Amino acid sequence: MTDHISITREGAILKLGFNRPDKKNAITAAMYGALADALIDAGEDDDIRAVLFHSRGDVFTSGNDIADFMSGAGSIAGGAEIPPVMRFLEAIATAEKPLIAAVQGPAVGVGVTMLLHCDLVYACEAATFHTPFVDLGLVPEAASSLLLPQIAGYSRAAEMLILGKKVDAARAREFGFVNEIVTADALEETAMAAATSIAEKAPAAMKLTKKLMKGDRAPILARMKEEGVHFAAQLRSAEFREAGMAFMQKRKPDFSKLD
């Protein structure tokens, strides 16, 4: 367990919050483990009807903690034991109960790709969405290479996943992975109102409706596994070492001498 993930209950709603504002809510292996455990437990608790992701501070999450990943602690690949990040990704992909997100600021990397698995996403005007995987010498994860083209269309997905273009809340809504843009003051209230409405509905009908809408999860899990193989290989690559050093040294990476 880690204090960097807040876990609270409000009636039938489980609230999971990124609580590391001093580090822009960068996600460590311990944080992934806490999120995965909470989601799995929520799936087994009949009293929980919806899960709400939120965040403390000005940034929703800056994505993976680069230092954690460079040390190997946050690796997406593992041996016999499933790494915490993969446990989390599988948990959000297979969650039977509705997932809601309130995005109050910049979302980077997995902070964006996790939203593709949420059922409702609310954002305020300050929110931005950035998936700089290629810029870091990495590949997309969370099945985003499959889901984002399905949701936004290939050309728009290429803007984010290939070009690495940061998009604002209005563009994200146009792309189809943000439901509504509200003021910062109204964000929490709006997200909680949606979660409360869901919690009051017939639970079996709700879970069945989500299952029917989501369809077969096997292709999603297969794509996650495929991405994970490439992601793990890239973590060992010269490209990622150069990108990681450039990040630490606050400079632009130079890939010109790499094949």
Q: What is the pLDDT of residues 226-237, one digit of tens each?
A: 999 999 999 899
Rounded distance, CA 249 to CA 182, Å?
36
Q: Letter for the amino acid at 114? A: M
Instruction: Give, in order, the Cα–Cα distances in Å from 55 to each of 50, 179, 200, 213, 243.
Output: 17, 18, 24, 27, 27
CB 231, CB 141: distance < 8 Å: yes
Instruction: Give, in order, the Cα–Cα distances in Å from 228 to each of 71, 83, 90, 95, 161.
Output: 17, 11, 12, 20, 16
The answer to whether residue 26 scores a pLDDT higher than 80 is yes
The pLDDT value recorded for residue 244 is 84
pTM confidence score: 0.94
Q: Give the end-to-end CA distance of the chain in Å, rounded to a whole number.
A: 41
What is the average pLDDT score of the chain?
94
Residue with tokens 């309130």: 102
The answer to whether residue 91 scores a pLDDT higher than 90 is yes
Is the domain defined by 5-185 classed in CATH 3.90.226.10? yes
Coil/strand/helix, residue 4: coil
CB 130, CB 172: distance < 8 Å: no
For range 85-108, the mean pLDDT? 97
- Structure confidence at residue 251 as a pLDDT band (50, 70, 90): very high
- Structure confidence at residue 67 as a pLDDT band (50, 70, 90): confident
For range 5-32, the mean pLDDT? 97
For range 127-145, the mean pLDDT? 96
Strand ranges of the sheet holding 167-168, from the earlier edge strand across to the other edge: 107-108, 128-130, 167-168
CB 49, CB 11: distance < 8 Å: no
Rounded distance, CA 48 to CA 230, Å?
36
Alpha helices in 23-71 (DSSP H): 29-44, 66-71
For range 200-226, the mean pLDDT? 97
Point out the least confidently predicted range of 17-21, 50-54, 206-210, 253-257: 253-257
The pLDDT value recorded for residue 138 is 94
- Structure confidence at residue 248 as a pLDDT band (50, 70, 90): confident
Instruction: Give, in order, the Cα–Cα distances in Å from 124 to each of 24, 86, 114, 136.
Output: 17, 29, 17, 27
CB 8, CB 52: distance < 8 Å: no
The pLDDT value recorded for residue 257 is 82
Closest CA to 181 of 164, 168, 198, 197: 168
The answer to whether residue 36 scores a pLDDT higher than 70 is yes
For range 238-254, the mean pLDDT? 90
- Structure confidence at residue 80 as a pLDDT band (50, 70, 90): low
The pLDDT value recorded for residue 233 is 94
The answer to whether residue 1 scores a pLDDT higher than 80 is no
The pLDDT value recorded for residue 2 is 82
Strand partners, 99: 51
Q: Which residues contact 97 (CB under 8 A, 6 or more apart)?
A: 42, 43, 48, 49, 50, 51, 206, 207, 210
